[in-house]
Amino acid sequence: MRLQAFRVPLSVRHWHVAAGLCISMLSACGGGGADSAPPSISAAPASQSIRIGDAVSFSVSAQGDGPLNYQWQRNGADIANATASSYSTTITRIADNGSQWAVRVSNAQGSVTSPAATLTVTPVQSGTISLAPSAYPLERTVDAQGNYLRVENGNVLLVAPDGTTVSTLLARASWVAAGLANGPEHATLDANGVLYFSETTTFNSGCSRVCPTTTVVWKQGADGSLAKFAGDHSPPTEFREGTGTEARFGYLSRMRFHPDGDLYAFSVSEIVRISPSGVARRVAKGQTYDWDAGGAVYVGDSPFDSAYSLVRKITPAGNASVLAGSATENGYRDGPGAQALFNRLSALVVDAGGNVYVSTVFEAPSESAPFSNNIRRIAPSGEVITVAGQRGLRTDGPLPAPLPGALCTTSGDLSIDANGVLYTRCNGSGVLGIRFND
């Protein structure tokens, strides 16, 4: 018997071949078959130890059929919009210490959660915040005994560190008899113990919010007589350089004598200096200032409605540079000087080692992130770190605690004593002393 060959039509034979190829490809690619791959973690997020205020980043490596989906978690709770293979926080607080960070990776075949990474956050400086004696002054001391000046009820008083009055340097009756229309606003002593004080007149005509002012700086003679040292109450009311009564100042405050003998002061938005002969010159734009042991001046420039905050250093030779902060950007970021950001600078003081301390305010974007005060230290190299207070965290009153703690709303005052203890005011409730451990 002769067998006949069975012939398959070409179209049918090609269909079987194509089907076989499709099944082989699906099996090899893991697409939809029994051999498809759910996600697996090949490199879990790593535990990290950082200092408070630094940013931190976590990342994961995963395998499995794509697309892979990511959801980061903090202490087991999902983080909104944290859906990439890495996650970064821009700033950390002590509350983040010990927190657990993990990520859930998923695809169509299932999901897996990584082992948790532990975040350790440590203060950059150990120490304590405590309530200082109620009499402790925030004014700059004017003599070796730690005495300071206080203007009270029209009198200029020399006050001891314990708050008791040592002597009256200028009595109200004296300046009234000399024909001054207004009493002293701020006062200071030169290296020889001579008294200088500011007298400000406000022009109310036609002003609605911020009224124009003029200030005269007076000098007290050895016999108690008063003479104009710089400035005048006649217009203009804007700052103007000049000698003696040719100069003009708006509201003048924060008066201090530099070691070179010049009188420094803050006038509205300018740091000014007045020579012993009464020549007034602009130093720099700024709102607060101090100097180091070598005479270099540090100016904090942070106008209320500005988009920048920075600290400038001006050498005794007059060379100016930005020590820390940005001329174009506000914010909150510790780090090297050019990368650091400040929001509002309200006070500045320099310690014996040349470290600059600034009091800053974090402005809340919402009620969930309230205003908070911080004190940040700028090293001579420009490196910025937060030493007291935490962003978005504050108290309503004095709260003794280890650093960094939380600071209540302050008046912006900041001072430092010979032992390196910082002082700042708390809501009018008292003065906080911030002591650093070696």
CATH at 260: 2.20.25
pLDDT band at residue 372 under the 50/70/90 scheme: confident
Higher-pLDDT residue of 434 and 392 is 434
Is residue 307 located within the same domain as residue 393? yes
Is residue 61 located within the same domain as residue 139? no
Q: Are β-strands 422-425 and 431-436 bridged in parallel, bridged antiparallel, or unpaired?
A: antiparallel
User: Of the residues 93, 122, 151, which one is the last residue of a structural domain?
Assistant: 122
Is residue 426 located within the same domain as residue 304? yes
Q: Are β-strands 48-51 and 117-122 bridged in parallel, bridged antiparallel, or unpaired?
A: parallel
pLDDT greater than 50 at residue 1: no
Query: Looking at residues 365-386, what average pLDDT do you find?
Result: 78
Report the distance separating Cα 273 and Cα 2, nearest Å: 123
Residue at 24 is within a domain: no
Is residue 406 located within the same domain as residue 300? yes
pLDDT greater than 50 at residue 16: no
Mean of all residue pLDDT scores within the chain: 85
With a pLDDT cut of 70, the percent of the chain lying above it is: 85
pLDDT greater than 50 at residue 62: yes
Is residue 204 located within the same domain as residue 229? yes
Is residue 308 located within the same domain as residue 413? yes
pLDDT for res 23: 40
Report the distance separating Cα 197 and Cα 141, nearest Å: 15
Q: With contact defined as beta carbons under 8 Å apart, do 332 and 362 qualify? A: yes
Is residue 208 located within the same domain as residue 100? no
Amino acid at 70: Y
The CATH number of the domain holding residue 110 is 2.60.40.10
Is residue 85 located within the same domain as residue 188? no
The kind and range of the H/E element at 6 are none
Higher-pLDDT residue of 121 and 73 is 73
- Residue keyed to tokens 């000049």: 242
Q: How many domains does the chain contain in total?
A: 3
Residue at 217 is within a domain: yes
Output the CA–CA distances (angstroms, integers) from residue 183 to 76, 173, 175, 408, in the order listed: 63, 10, 7, 32
What domain range includes position 220? Answer: 172-285
pLDDT 10s digits, 176-210: 999 998 999 999 999 999 999 999 998 876 666 66
pLDDT for res 363: 58
Query: Looking at residues 140-144, what average pLDDT do you find?
Result: 83
Is residue 356 located within the same domain as residue 303? yes
**DSSP classification of residue 132:** P
Residue at 222 is within a domain: yes
Residue at 94 is within a domain: yes
Report the distance separating Cα 78 and Cα 102, nearest Å: 9
- Residue keyed to tokens 């006949």: 4
User: Of the residues 225, 253, 285, which one is the last residue of a structural domain?
Assistant: 285
Q: With contact defined as beta carbons under 8 Å apart, do 402 and 126 qualify? A: yes
pLDDT greater than 60 at residue 61: yes
Q: Which of 119-123, 134-138, 403-407 has the lowest mean pLDDT?
A: 134-138
Is residue 394 located within the same domain as residue 315? yes
Determine the Cα angle at 302 with ends 298 and 306, to 5°.
Answer: 150
Higher-pLDDT residue of 307 and 272 is 272
Q: Which of 42-56, 75-89, 293-307, 418-432 has the lowest mean pLDDT?
A: 418-432
pLDDT band at residue 371 under the 50/70/90 scheme: low
Is residue 49 located within the same domain as residue 158? no
Amino acid at 241: E
pLDDT for res 20: 46
With a pLDDT cut of 90, the percent of the chain lying above it is: 52
Query: Looking at residues 288-295, what average pLDDT do you find?
Result: 94
Is residue 362 located within the same domain as residue 386? yes
Inter-residue long-range contacts of 227-231, CB under 8 Å, 24+ positions, other chains counted: 229/196, 229/274, 229/278, 230/274, 230/278, 230/280, 231/280
Residue by residue, DSSP assigns 311-355 as: EEEE-TT--EEEEEEESS----B-BSTTT-B-SEEEEEEE-TTS-
CB atoms under 10 Å from CB of 383, counted, come to 16
User: Of the residues 285, 312, 336, which one is the last residue of a structural domain?
Assistant: 285
pLDDT for res 202: 87
Residue at 25 is within a domain: no
Query: Looking at residues 391-413, what average pLDDT do you find?
Result: 77
pLDDT greater than 80 at residue 427: no
pLDDT for res 407: 85
pLDDT greater than 70 at residue 24: no
Residue at 28 is within a domain: no
pLDDT for res 5: 43
pLDDT 10s digits, 316-329: 999 999 999 999 98
pLDDT for res 364: 53
Residue at 369 is within a domain: yes
Residue at 145 is within a domain: yes
pTM: 0.75
